[in-house]
Amino acid sequence: MDLMTQRFPAPFPPPFADSWGDDEFGLWAEFTLRSGHGSATQRLRWIEPGSFRMGSPENEPERNSDEGPQHWVTLTRGFWLADTACPQALWQAVMGANPSRFQGDPQRPVELVSWHEVQGFLRALEKLLPGCEAALPTEAQWEYACRAGSETPFSFGGNVTPEQVNYDGNHPYAGGAKGWFREETVPVKSLPANAWGLYEMHGNVLEWCADGPRAYDEWAQQDPTGPVSGDEGARRAIRGGSWNDLAWGARSAPRNAYPPGVRNDDLGFRLSLRSIEPGQVPAPVQGRPGRPAAPGGRQPR
């Protein structure tokens, strides 16, 4: 099956969906969970297959060496990605407890959760959403979704302000003006979404990825992953920056990794879902433009 025939999910609507639709950002589907511990609704966005340049160019201000060399990555399969970091309400509804430091609003992102604990959440969620496989995005999937077709340091452009991203405003990016340092998380969907309808990919909380960090080289890659098995203590990638980070750390390209048992008050996650039930690829939604295979119409080397 080529990229064109994979542009739309099979089946659609996916088995987890209570409601679904198509808007200016693309296809969406959402589920609502109700349990003895509370209720929560989570919307997911269909992230179409495509190609992008992963990492940062050598002339990007304040870059780290592990962000390069920049290279083309092609993702051959689309995936459903939550439009927000997992909120405390959803964690509570699934797990029956709220470990977070910053409480008071159930729509704040959950934090103080380890990678291992997130795996427990994903397995519990699968039992509540039959026909679905729950996962974290890989580091490549995460950056593809964060960039949303952009090649600038941030999906919003060459710089950001605290009105767009929750970071330590005392430390702006690349000569920008100082701004607000909130010193805490904000509820999800408090700040503008990127071009693909994903909120707070930059800042607020760092997000766990499925895999560990891989070494970059200049060669084009297809569906790359870092280490995903082996030592239970192997580090896992974290991306996105947080409320406690300097602005440079909230760019699309910065990389870090923690042992999977780490819990921090600036570290959460964003879930991905894949249907495991057979289905038919639907006809393309009329009037919805497709995304180019690579930014600006360029193809991978």
Task: Name the one residue in this structure whose structure tokens are 């192997």.
Answer: 234
* Lowest mean pLDDT, pick from 39-48, 110-119, 227-236: 227-236
Of 83, 90, 104, 27, nearest to 291 by C-alpha is 27
pTM score: 0.91
Angle of CA points 208, 211, 216, to nearest 5° = 110
87: part of which helix (H) or strand (E)? none
Torsion angle of C-alpha atoms 194, 198, 203, 206, degrees rounded to 10: -150
Q: Give pLDDT tens digits for 172-185.
A: 999 999 999 999 99
The side-by-side arrangement of strands in the sheet containing 236-239 is 256-258, 236-239, 206-208, 267-268
Q: Give pLDDT tens digits for 127-161.
A: 999 999 999 999 999 999 999 999 999 999 999 99
State the pLDDT at residue 280: 40
Residue scoring higher pLDDT (293 or 202): 202
What average pLDDT does the chain have? 90
Q: In this model, does residue 278 exceed pLDDT 90? A: no
Q: Give pLDDT tens digits for 4-20.
A: 345 678 789 999 999 99
What is the DSSP-derived secondary structure letter of residue 15? T
Q: Give pLDDT tens digits for 229-269.
A: 666 779 999 999 999 999 999 999 999 999 999 999 999 99
Cβ neighbours around 121 below 10 Å, total:
19
The answer to whether residues 51 and 75 touch, using CB atoms and an 8 Å cutoff, is yes
Q: In this model, does residue 162 exceed pLDDT 90? A: yes
Of the chain, the percentage scoring pLDDT greater than 70 comes to 88
Q: Is 78 left (phi over 0), alpha (psi -120 to 50) or beta?
A: beta
Strand-pair partners of 160: none
pLDDT band at 288 (very low <50, low <70, confident <90, very high): very low
Q: In this model, does residue 77 exceed pLDDT 50? A: yes
What sign results for the dihedral spanned by CA atoms 167, 112, 118, 256? positive
Domains of the chain: 20-276 (3.90.1580.10)
Q: In this model, does residue 35 exceed pLDDT 50? A: yes
State the pLDDT at residue 223: 97
Angle of CA points 233, 88, 98, to nearest 5° = 70
State the pLDDT at residue 29: 97
Mean pLDDT of 158-173: 98
146: part of which helix (H) or strand (E)? helix 139-147
Q: Do strands 26-35 and 256-258 pair parallel, antiparallel, or not at all (unpaired)?
A: unpaired
Mean pLDDT of 74-81: 96
State the pLDDT at residue 6: 52
Q: Which amino acid is at 173?
A: Y
How distant, in Å, are the alpha carbons of 124, 131, 236 from that of 87?
Answer: 16, 23, 21
State the pLDDT at residue 282: 40
Mean pLDDT of 108-137: 97
pLDDT band at 276 (very low <50, low <70, confident <90, very high): confident
Distance between CA atoms of 175 and 127, rounded to whole angstroms?
A: 49
Distance between CA atoms of 151 and 52, rounded to whole angstroms?
A: 8
Mean pLDDT of 86-102: 98
Cβ neighbours for 178, distance < 8 A, ≥ 6 positions apart:
169, 170, 171, 172
Mean pLDDT of 218-238: 88
How distant, in Å, are the alpha carbons of 122, 141, 185 from that of 66?
Answer: 29, 17, 27
Strand-pair partners of 133: 274
Strand-pair partners of 222: 74
Cβ neighbours around 120 below 10 Å, total:
13
Q: In this model, does residue 44 exceed pLDDT 80? A: yes
Mean pLDDT of 105-127: 97
| Alpha-helix runs per DSSP H in 2-98 | 88-95
